[in-house]
Amino acid sequence: MADILGAEVDEEGFLVNLKDWTEEIAVVMAKGDDIDLSEEHWDVINFLRSYFEEYQIAPAVRVLTKAIGKQFGKEKGNSKYLYSLFPYGPGKQGCRFAGLPKPTGCI
């Protein structure tokens, strides 16, 4: 079984145990995708984590987009912005960095 900094991950690179997550793990995961995490990345990652904590699911992209726009400003509430941060998809890639399971309904 593969691991990142000792935390077990599945075949798609998602954490097996949500509780294993640390910021360092997110940094290593991002490096693996050639991304240096910026403040803007962290805004989204932290949002995903608090959304999951509150609702026990990862938000659908449509819901994420709306909520990010509401919280961080209209110019960020669109999928173009989110995809510029997470080229493999704010849902799939963002959730992976945030230590969450793959979003429901995400293929």
Residues with catalytic function: 106
- Nearer to other proteins by Cβ, of 54 and 75: the residue is 54
Q: Closest approach of Cβ 56 to other proteins, in Å? A: 5
Which one, 30 or 47, has the nearer CB to other proteins? 47
Tokens of 1: 């079984």
Instruction: Give the shortest CB-24-to-other proteins separation in angstroms.
Output: 26
* Beta carbons of 30 and 97 less than 8 angstroms apart: yes
Q: Closest separation between CB of residue 38 and other proteins, Å? A: 26
Half-sphere exposure of 52 (CA within 13 A, CB side): 20
Question: Which residues sit at the interface with other proteins, rule CB under 8 A?
Answer: 54-57, 59-60, 62-63, 66-67, 104-105
Helices then strands, each counted (H, E), the chain: 5, 2
Tokens, residue 9: 């991950």
